[in-house]
Amino acid sequence: MSALSELNKEIALCQQCEIAKYRTKVVPGEGAEDADILFIGEAPGWHEDQQGRPFVGPAGQYLDQLLSSIGLRREQVYIANVIKCRPQGNRDPLPSEILNCRKWLERQIELICPKMVVTLGRYSMAMFFPGKSISKIHGTSQKRGDVIYYAMYHPAAALHQQSLRRAIEEDMLKIPQLLTKAESMTETDKQPKQLNMFKD
Ligand code: URA
């Protein structure tokens, strides 16, 4: 079994937060273990909690469409979330839940070693672009170490708001070129690869 599968099994046993009591299934993440692109959403919703898979409800179907607009299938990328259990009633994740779950995401990133981390929505953005506003930085990237960090709106938000829909679709179309340019991009921020990636 791969190190990532072992890790995801460990995640599935986590009982650190109160929400563990209410979950149907943990949603560690899924996709290509050597993916170039890691997409990080917020938290599982009802459908994800039922199936134990990320982005399988309406927002997930839209994410699939967005991926297909750049010639990708979900099996070719990795998809994970900031927190791995569904907050009851789809409430926002609590700071304590984000903190408890952070170590899982950090280890997933270390193992996948993506060239690009795409944040979907505010919670995911806040981990990599602290203090920034999504309306200002969506569609922009920063290279730190060997990794490009790229902020996008959450597909669920874009599904419900026409103006965001256009933005998320345009932002998605920028990804292939960014990946191609990845090697030649200047580092925005001189941080060693994988270290301090969650810090200011
Ligand atoms: N929204 C998310 O942020 N993650 C999912 O997995 C599904 C919906």
93: left (phi over 0), alpha (psi -120 to 50) or beta: beta
pLDDT at 173 > cutoff 60: yes
Ligand 1 pocket check for 108: Cβ under 6 Å: no
Residues 152-161, mean pLDDT to the nearest whole number: 96
Q: Quick one: pLDDT at residue 90?
A: 86
Specify which residues 4 forms β-bridges with. none
Q: Residue 200: pLDDT above 70?
A: no
- 23 vs 90, higher pLDDT: 23
Q: How many CB atoms lie within 10 A of CB 148?
A: 23
Is residue 140 left, alpha or beta, with left meaning phi > 0 and alpha meaning psi from -120 to 50?
A: beta
Q: Is 115 helix (H, G, I), strand (E, B) or coil?
A: coil
Give the separation between CA 13 and CA 25, rounded to whole angstroms. Answer: 10
Whether the per-residue pLDDT at 192 is higher than 50: the answer is no
Candidates 105, 109, 114; CA nearest to 35 is: 114
Above 90 in pLDDT, residue 197? no
HSE-CB for 96 with a 13 A CA cutoff: 5
Residue 67 has what pLDDT?
98
Q: Could you read off the pLDDT of 140-152 as tens digits, one per residue?
A: 999 999 999 999 9
Atom of ligand 1 nearest to the CA of 48: 6
If one compares 4 and 181, the residue with the highest pLDDT of the two is 4
What number is the average pLDDT over the span 183-187? 70
pLDDT computed for residue 194 by the predictor: 43
What is the model's pTM?
0.93
Is there an atom of ligand 1 within 6 Å of 48 CB?
yes
Taking the centre of ligand 1 as the mean of its atom positions, its distance from the CA of residue 69, in whole angstroms, is 19
Tens of pLDDT, residue by residue over 17-37, are 999 999 999 999 999 999 999
Q: For the residues 61-79, what does the mean pLDDT come to?
A: 98
Question: What are the pLDDT digits (tens) for 4-16?
Answer: 999 999 999 999 9
With a 6 Å cutoff on the Cβ, whether 43 touches ligand 1 is yes
pLDDT of res. 184: 74
pLDDT of 74 over the 90 cut: yes
Q: Given CA atoms 8, 9, 12, 17 in this order, what sign does their dihedral have?
A: negative
pLDDT digits over 93-113, tens only? Answer: 999 999 999 999 999 999 999
Residue 196 has pLDDT above 50, yes or no: no
Measured CA to CA, the distance from residue 5 to residue 86 in angstroms comes to 20
Residue whose CB lies within 8 A of the most ligand 1 atoms, among 40, 81, 86, for a mutation test: 81
